[in-house]
Amino acid sequence: MCVTATDKPDTSESPKSGVCEQTAFAEAGLVRIAVFGGGAWGTALAVAFARVHEVTLWARDTAAVQAMEAERSNRRYLPGVAFPDRLRVSADFTETARGAGLHLVVTPLAGLRATLRALRELVPGTPLIWACKGLEAETGRLPHEIVRAELGTDAACGVLTGPSFAAEVGAGMPTAVTLASADRAFAEHWLQVLHQPRFRIYSNTDLVGAEVGGGLKNVIAIASGVSDGMGFGLNARAALITRGLAEITRLGVALGARPETLMGLTGMGDLILTCTGDLSRNRRVGLALAEGKSLPTILAELGHVAEGVPTARAALRLASTKGVEMPITEAIDALLHSDGIGPRDAVELLLSREPRHE
């Protein structure tokens, strides 16, 4: 028999290992969270939630895990942010997954499917939240479509997304994001569990809108970086952000999103932040392109994943199937993936368009 935090006996005949402890933790209002992905954003979320809950951050590199545990920080991806006492780091995927009441996947989008398959085999049915953004390069699928394909349509799950730089979240600076799920009860429950005064969470049931906004803003941020890098000024940046939001909304609505979602945190909010903030990886890609650097050189120097690069092509293909015009995305895709197309050529593609009604 085990005794919970409220001194209620567990009369189950053969509890699984760890169930009593997990129940006691939950009844105290706390959750054991497993965060998969030791990059900047995964580390920042692990730090934020470990201020309240018990968190294990999983990373595949054993040497990196040992360094993080020894230094109590992630010097490579999130320097200057100390780990809370409730945060531990592990390279043991199985142990991390089986010990948690919530799985939070914060890998690059390219790693989402493989992570889901591994979790499905180990601990099916554990509540899942992902914080990946973009479109799958091979299939053009949004993250929730990947989740449904791997875990089924009845999986208890949702996406955490919105305007949020990892460095600021890790430092405890005020941030507001959205937890979107097709299951309103799921979103409302985990909102209450994860919400903090300096990490505010709003619920939403529009998965498509939340993911389209969060994914495609990275493409527009590359365009914003190109514009700024070429010295086109603030008027041009404002035009790019506004027209970028228009084409994101067109595609989102064509896919079933609600327009109001794309006017909120996961659409307009995330777009403004990523297009104007110096911490934006995708904007930095655009700035470097404007300098004439090659894409392989830029990505090597960046040292992080810039999701806007693969998303541009996937978004353009998806837009074509829906008959949606996305001129900014088209120009950025040409700049990123076509030989002989430079920043000035990409700008010309946009400026040569016929005038039209807004």
**Does the annotation flag 58 for ligand binding?**
no
Query: CB of 334 within 8 A of CB of 324?
Result: no
Query: Which segments of 83-156 are extended strands (E)?
Result: 87-90, 102-105, 128-130
| Residue 281, annotated as binding a ligand | yes
Q: Residue 47, Cβ neighbours under 10 Å: how many?
A: 26
- How far apart CA 214 and CA 196 sit, in angstroms, is 22
CA distances from 225 to 82, 294, 304, 328, 351 (A): 31, 15, 17, 13, 17
166 labelled binding-site residue: yes
Q: Is 322 annotated as a binding residue?
A: no
For tokens 């299939």, the residue is 139
8, 16, 217, 322: the active-site residue: 217
Residue 37 annotated as lining a ligand binding site: yes
Tell me the CA distances in angstroms from 71 to 79, 83, 200, one per residue in order: 11, 9, 29
**Annotation says 217 is catalytic:** yes
342 is in an annotated binding site: no
Q: Any binding-site annotation on 280?
A: yes
The reply to whether 164 sits in an annotated binding site is yes
38 is in an annotated binding site: yes
Phi, psi of 32 (to 5 degrees): -90, 120
198 assigned to a ligand binding site: no
* Residues paired with 178 in a beta bridge: 161, 202
Task: Please name which of 166, 171, 175 lies closest in space to residue 198, comparing C-alpha atoms.
Answer: 175
> Does residue 315 have a known ligand-binding role?
no
> Which positions make up the binding site for NAD(+)?
37-42, 166, 281
> Which positions make up the binding site for NADPH?
41, 60, 77, 133, 166, 281, 305, 307
> Which positions make up the binding site for substrate?
133, 281-282
> Which positions make up the binding site?
37-42, 60, 77, 133, 162, 164, 166, 217, 270, 280-282, 305, 307
Cite the active site residues.
217
